[in-house]
Every structure is written in structure tokens, then in C-alpha cells.
Amino acid sequence: MSLPGPDERAELVAIAERAARAAGELVHRGRPERLEVTATKVSATDVVTAMDTASEELLTELLLRARPHDGVLGEEGGATVGTSGVTWVVDPIDGTVNYLYGLPGYAISVAAVVPGGAPGDEPDPATWTAVAGCVHEPVSGRTWTASLGGGARLDGAPLGGPADVPLAEALVGTGFGYTPQRRAAQARVLSQVLPRVRDIRRAGVASLDLCAVGSGWLDAYYERGLKPWDHAAGALVAAEAGAVVRGLSPQEPASERFCLAAAPGLAAALGELVAGLDPLREEAP
């Protein structure tokens, strides 16, 4: 399937930003004093609130109003297939646990991708091409945008990208899954990574971590278990800012199996370190 041209990509970025800002206003201004968990997913710690659902409904409405023939893949609502060749991948609140606790670090993530699989297949990060994206942080108002081949920006200013520092000087972001077995495995890996780097940060928001790499606020980021909506827009921001965004091996695309983002030399060094720690092996809690 052919990719949208530069003008259409710019239009997609503008649509993504308008939708993300509107959803951000909804969840930020509309957050009740007492926010209740309405559902859980893979474990009791993987929560959904009514605002997640309301945000995704608003995003879907706005995106399809602007482009009624597109598809949508959402965290809460699943996938709907369009006919235009473009699918929107949306995370209505990335960092729901932060949002639940009243912490300011959460984001709205909206990306436009061109699926690479067979017609009717659910979009897959292994085969799609992300062409436009926006990550909006409602509390701070900061907004990252990117288009394929058009660079990445924070509040309209071009991003300089991450520094290619030695592994020992790298500030590295990561995250943890929701099951005890996954967390035990990630803790095992982290215990071996931490002595080899400058320090570790854990924000709990994958999209913002990837944007932080693109902004040079983190030198690198890695995590296992990201869903497509967790990284679709943020990975494009990081890549368009100059980072390598990949899977566990240099040839693999970022996916639920593994995601790593850093400048080229650091990506190679950190990737080699993590791959040697058998990060896909589950552990007893």
C-alpha cells in the first residue's frame, strides 16, 4: 500500500494534535476528585477508568469526523477496519495508574499508520509504517509531534535527539509489566543493567519515555511488553529525532516482544547487554 505524501502527512499530524489536545482537556479538566477503577485487564494492577473510555470515544469521534474512511485501533475499543489505507492507533490515557493516583505524568498518544499486513488484518507494529504522530501531556501542556521524513518537534521546535554517550554514562528509562512473573524477570534484568549505566528512571508512561529520548532528556529507553498503542506515536517521535528504535536484535522492529530506543552507538551497546541477560525468560514471583 502506498504511503501518504508529505502534504497528507502534515494534515495527519495536525488532525492527531487536535484530537490529542481535545482528549487531554477532557481527562485533565474532567478528572473527578475520586476516580474509580472500572475494569482490569491482565492483572489487578492493570486498570481502566471511566476517563480512559471517555477519552477513547472522543478520540475516535474526532478522528473519524476528520477522516471517516480511516480505521482505528484503540487500547479500550479494539480495532475497526477502514478503507483509506490509514489506521489511527490511540492510547486514550498512557499512564492510567499515574492518572488514577493524581500524578501529573500521563499522556494522550495518537499515531497514523499504514498497515503492512493483509487487508482486514489488525495493524501490527512488525509490519506497519507510522507516518504521523502526536503525544500530548495534558498537565504540562507539552506536545510532541512527528511525521515520517518530516522530523520531530516539541511545541513546534525541532528536536535535537539523544546524545550518543557511552553505556556507563547513559541515563536509561525503563518500565515494568503487570504480572508478578513479568516483573520478576524485569527486576532480574534491571539488577544487571543498573551497575553498568549512569542511572535508571521509571516514569510509567512509555510514550513520554520515548519522547524523552527524542528530546535528549533520557539517553536510552527499553521495555518488554509494550502494546502497539503504547509506542506507535512515541517511537516515531524518537526515530524522527535521530534515535534508533528497534527490538531485541538490531534487525527486529519495536514490538510487544521488546522495544529499545537510543542513539546508534548506545543502542548497540545497551541492546547487546540486555540481550545477553535473557530478558524474555519469565521468572517465578
Q: Give the pLDDT confidence score for residue 80 in this predicted structure.
A: 86
CATH numeric code, 6-158: 3.30.540.10
Summarize the confidence of residues 11-21 as an average pLDDT.
98
Indicate if the pLDDT at residue 156 is higher than 60: yes
Q: Where in the chain is the domain with CATH 3.40.190.80?
A: 167-275
The class that CATH gives domain 167-275 is: alpha beta
Indicate if the pLDDT at residue 45 is higher than 50: no
Q: Where in the chain is the domain with CATH 3.30.540.10?
A: 6-158
Summarize the confidence of residues 72-97 as an average pLDDT.
91
3-state secondary structure of 85: coil
Q: How many CB atoms lie within 10 A of CB 62?
A: 20
Q: Give the pLDDT confidence score for residue 46 in this predicted structure.
A: 43
Q: Give the pLDDT confidence score for residue 2 in this predicted structure.
A: 85
Summarize the confidence of residues 156-184 as an average pLDDT.
95
Its pTM stands at 0.93
Indicate if the pLDDT at residue 163 is higher than 70: yes
Indicate if the pLDDT at residue 106 is higher than 90: yes
Summarize the confidence of residues 144-154 as an average pLDDT.
98
For residues 261 and 253, is the Cβ–Cβ distance under 8 A?
A: no
Best CA proximity match to 152, nearest among 133, 125, 136: 133
Q: Give the pLDDT confidence score for residue 118 in this predicted structure.
A: 72
> What is each CA distance from 285 to 52, 186, 188, 231, 282, in whole angstroms?
29, 11, 11, 27, 9
Q: Strand (E) positions, 128-273?
A: 129-136, 143-147, 151-154, 157-158, 171-174, 199-201, 220-223, 244-246, 259-262
Q: Give the pLDDT confidence score for residue 184 in this predicted structure.
A: 93
